[in-house]
Amino acid sequence: MTLSKIRFVTDSTCDLPPDVIARHEIGVVPCYVNFGGQSYADDGVELIREQYYDKLPHMRPFPTTAAMPPAVAQKVIDEVFPQSEHLFILTAFSNMSTIHQSMKMASSHLPQDRVTLIDSGTASMGLGLQVLIGAETAEQTGDINAVLSAMERVRQHQLVYASLSTLDYLRRSGRVSWASAAIGNLLQIKPIISVLHNEVKSVAQLRTFRRSLDELARLALEQAPIDRLALMHTNNLEGVEELRERLSDSLPADTMVVRVNPTVGTHIGPGAVGLTMVSQTWRT
């Protein structure tokens, strides 16, 4: 179906840079981080990412995260919906958070033939690249089916990996059963995790962070040629630059570098480096 205006709403775990959000008129609903007896919107205003990761190792009790209340999501959705003929709502993975359920409740009053709610199965730039490519496809085609097809193909051809400085934050979050059970020697390693298809999996365990960067690069280059790439970190620009150097011969011109949102970063901890990539095979 060809339409003149297709719009997008997503949540703040998407990590899309502000200029990209503005260019494509994407509505973003903030998630929340709770500490010090208060709840802060993860909107880049109430929480400054660089400052948050500097403080995170010293915070007691440990911060918690929460999905947006449906009323907060509805406010953003109701601002975007009148400007669209069809609205796509993409969320972070549903089995790790109630974000998807909040968005569903917030959009339930709208005519459902004009709204498509999608669980991205991932977060951070894994979600962000699905939204971005969906928005680009909408602007190029104005076609709902083309947008759906593009985003589905991205999901099938993307990788989302992160090398953590420590497993302790993921373990303390209690959201990943295998991490909660990993104690003792595993806390001394530098784990690589994947965040895809509604699962957080352990991919590798390395003894040094440098070796974990080598492994990240190897995993990415296995799927080359790379169509889209985002390098992600939680206050580890030095690690990002080392990873960029390892991938230098395969970097797309529009490679993005983003500091991960505090909602996700609370659970992976400071010092992490990751990548989200989409292979060129998504286009075929």
- How confident is the model over 40-63, as a mean pLDDT? 96
Q: Where are the domains of the chain?
A: 6-31+67-156, 158-283
Task: Please compute the mean of the pLDDT values over residues 167-172 and round it to a whole number.
Answer: 85
User: What is the fold of 6-31+67-156?
Assistant: Rossmann fold (3.40.50)
Where do the DSSP E strands lie in the chain? 6-11, 27-29, 32-35, 38-41, 64-66, 86-91, 115-119, 158-163, 190-196, 199-206, 226-233, 256-259, 273-279
The string of pLDDT tens digits covering residues 3-30 is 569 999 999 999 999 999 999 999 999 9
**Topology annotation, domain 158-283:** Hypothetical Protein Tm841; Chain: A;domain 3 (3.30.1180)
Higher pLDDT, 234 or 284: 234
Q: pLDDT by residue (tens digit) across 121-166?
A: 999 999 999 999 999 999 999 999 999 999 999 999 999 999 999 8
Mean pLDDT of 42-58: 96
Cβ-contact 273, 243 below 8 angstroms:
yes
Q: 3-state DSSP helix/strand/coil percent for the chain, to nearest 5?
A: 45, 25, 30
Q: What pLDDT shows up at residue 185? A: 47
Q: Which amino acid is present at 122?
A: T
Q: Model-level pTM?
A: 0.94
Q: Distances in Å between the alpha carbon of 279 and those of 181, 220, 250?
A: 33, 9, 11
* Residue-wise DSSP of 228-253: EEEEEESS-HHHHHHHHHHTGGG--T
Q: Please, is 18 exposed, middle or buried when counting C-beta atoms within 10 Å of its C-beta (0-12, 13-18, 19+)? A: exposed
Residue 193 has a pLDDT of 94
C-alpha span between 171 and 145 (Å, rounded) = 40
Q: pLDDT-based confidence at 81, cuts 50/70/90? A: very high
Nearest CA among 84, 232, 226 for reference residue 147:
84
pLDDT at 175 > cutoff 80? no
What is the structure's pLDDT at 184? 42
Residues 205 and 162: their CA atoms lie apart, in Å, by: 12
pLDDT band at 284 (very low <50, low <70, confident <90, very high): confident
d(CA 15, CA 276): 11
Q: pLDDT band at residue 236, thresholds of 50, 70 and 90?
A: very high
| Percent of the chain with pLDDT strictly greater than 70 | 93
